[in-house]
Structure 1
Amino acid sequence: MDTTDGLASLRPTDPDGATARYVFQVEVRLEPDAGGLWTDPNRVETTLYRAADEPGTSGWLFFRDTLWRGELADERYFRTAVEDELGCPVVSASFSELRTDKAYLDGLKSTIAEDLTLFNADSVSEVLRKYLGSSVHVE
């Protein structure tokens, strides 16, 4: 499965100064290259983060286009894309939450409200529920 094009979706356009991030749970398998070496356990759970692009900028629709209803909703594809990025075998990968501050969430809601047709929805609440469910954590 070719994930070359999809890898860009894992990378934010501007991670510096991000006040929001997508959080993923990832389990990787460690496979030492040198003979006679091994790890125990050979699987490690870790958290993977992707900075959320500022609302209205390039990449801000990651949650709509790529996350739940997009290519990362295909767990096998997502594992392969993460493997390519991390350079090690990935056993599992799943989205956990959008972790943000109140200012980012307010900006996101405001930008969504400007054009609900982008989401085929009647309200901002419907958009958030449709694409992020209960997976928004405000710090």
Structure 2
Amino acid sequence: MGGRYVFAVRFRLEPARDVTVEPNEFETRLSREAEEPGEEGWRFFRDNLWRGELADGAHFRDLTEDALDVTVLSVEYRAFEMDEAYRETFREAIAADLDAFRADTVDEVVNKYLGSSLEVESE
């Protein structure tokens, strides 16, 4: 499994032709695979989350609109899911670079950015 970020996305369909859809608003679960700790982009959580919430909801909504090609009404961060092997590597990578997170411990980093939304699945 590795790791993945999970979001709730509420979007609206706006047909381009002379058709209608009912309902025209939906909510779905969006997942984004997490890069391996230490690889480029692995600090996605640091750059986009704060205390388990999106740091810049409007910006993230725009990114999600681009990715889905629909009108996105809202995006809410739900969880960072990972298996035990990813968790170990994730914590090691944080520990090796605590200065980048302005923190003294790995637990402080996890709480600062992810709140209580870190979910580890056992194999």
TM, length-normalised to structure 1: 0.80
- Which residue matches 2:15? 32
Give the SS at the match of 1:134.
Answer: coil
The structural deviation recorded for 1:40 is 1.2
Q: Name the aligned partner's letter for residue 93 of structure 2.
A: T
Shift in Å at residue 63 of structure 1? 0.7
Post-superposition CA distance 1:45-97 (Å, at most 9, x none): 0111111010111111111123338xx52211211111111111001111111
Unmatched 5+ residue regions in structure 2? none
Amino acid at match of 1:112: I
What is the aligned partner in structure 2 of residue 132 from structure 1?
114
Cα distance, 1:32 vs structure 2? 1.4
* SS of alignment partner, residue 26 of structure 2: strand
Q: Distance in 1 between matches of 2:69 and 2:104?
A: 42
Letter in 1 for 2:106: V
Which residue number corresponds to residue 98 of structure 1? 80
Establish whether residue 110 from structure 1 lines up as the match of residue 104 from structure 2: no
Other-structure match for 1:58: 40
Where does structure 1 lack aligned partners over 5 or more consecutive residues? 1-17
| Residue type of the alignment partner of 1:75 | G
Q: Structure 2: which amino acid aligns with 1:111?
A: A
Instruction: Give the superposition deviation at 1:109.
Output: 0.5
In the alignment, which residue of structure 2 is the partner of 1:119?
101
Deviations 1:99-133 (A, max 9, x none): 11011011100111112111111111001000101
* SS of alignment partner, residue 109 of structure 2: helix
Between the two proteins, the alignment pairs up a number of residues equal to: 119
2:3 equivalent to 1:20: yes
Q: Percent of counterpart pairs with the same letter?
A: 50
Amino acid in structure 1 at the alignment position of 2:79: E
Equivalent position to 2:71, from 89, 95, 99: 89
- Taking structure 2 as the reference length, the TM-score comes to 0.90
Structure 2 residue aligned with 1:11: none
RMSD: 1.4
Q: In the alignment, residue 27 of structure 1 is paired with which amino acid? A: R
